[in-house]
Chain A
């Protein structure tokens, strides 16, 4: 599923004019986990990547149930999008030729495996800035569908 230009333009870190999102994953027996993420980008036209820095339960969930939903949280500005699809963490050490639904692990890690060096969160206020950034890998979601979370049309298929 190819995302449109508006989506591709918005899926970047908030410090570069993008958005903060929530990532929802769940255990194999259905216990959800919903956490905010600020290190986000589009990878090509069909994948969304998020830095795996402090994901604890997310990692456990994706290891047993590789699917997720990414919802735009801030600033919304009419971008009522929920992206859903297969999701995994491409960890450092992964075979560079491993292919996750069209995303090659080596290319994902090369481009987004050291987010702090590429896009340091210098704009973040001190009381919410991470004290240290240690990235273990890249959470990668293949967009299979996009639905609206806009309250009066929630669930309407966009793509």
Chain B
């Protein structure tokens, strides 16, 4: 099971994410939700507007797998990609994270992090970035 670190949770909560969705045949639609809530170790919850929910409703019905890229300044500071299975219930989108990747440009781009013990991921973060989360 993928486990989000405190740093990942902090950036996602404060800035939300670009949520990549697609039809089963691979036609993409991306929405942007500017904040999120975290439940437990690996669930990210987004409150969608009615327009956002309507925009991805059909995709979610046929293909619940989504990709998340942190929004705003987090797109620079929090170089992660999260993938997982989503469920749209009303205007609430719950994503169970199953894969976590480093997207830091360089030799570690696309490095899969969720296969590591969480203490190793934290150590990785501490040696790669100066911050431990977004500014207060």
Question: Which residues on A are within 8 Å of B, measured CB to CB?
Answer: 14, 20, 22, 24-36, 38, 53-54, 56-57, 65, 67-69, 71, 73-76, 80, 82, 84, 125, 127-128, 130-132, 149, 151-156
Contact indicator B65/A30 (Cβ below 8 Å): yes
List which B29-47 residues lie within 8 A (CB) of chain A. Answer: 29-34
A65 touches which one: B26, B30, B55, B67 (CB < 8 A)?
Answer: B26
B117 within 8 A of A: no
Do A149 and B31 contact each other (CB < 8 Å), given the known contacts A34-B81, A74-B75?
yes
Contact indicator B26/A27 (Cβ below 8 Å): yes
**Distance of B89 from chain A, by nearest CB (Å):** 18
B51 touches which one: A25, A65, A153 (CB < 8 A)?
Answer: A153
Q: Report, nearest first, the 7 A-B pairs whose CB atoms are least far apart.
A: A32-B20, A54-B109, A34-B20, A24-B20, A56-B110, A155-B55, A73-B75
Contact indicator A132/B106 (Cβ below 8 Å): yes
Closest to A133 in B: B105
Interfacial chain A residues near B31, Cβ < 8 Å: 149, 154-155
**Distance of B55 from chain A, by nearest CB (Å):** 4
Interfacial chain A residues near B48, Cβ < 8 Å: 151
In Å, the complex CA distance between A65 and B27 comes to 9
In Å, the complex CA distance between A35 and B105 comes to 11
Contact indicator A25/B110 (Cβ below 8 Å): no
Interfacial chain A residues near B72, Cβ < 8 Å: 73-76
Interface string of B52-80 (1 = CB under 8 A from A): 10110000000101111111110111010
Interfacial chain A residues near B65, Cβ < 8 Å: 30-32
Contact indicator A33/B20 (Cβ below 8 Å): yes
Interfacial chain B residues near A57, Cβ < 8 Å: 110
Interfacial chain A residues near B49, Cβ < 8 Å: 151-152, 154
Most buried by A among B18, B24, B51, B68: B18
List which B92-117 residues lie within 8 A (CB) of chain A. Answer: 103-107, 109-110
Contact indicator B30/A82 (Cβ below 8 Å): yes
Contact indicator B26/A128 (Cβ below 8 Å): no
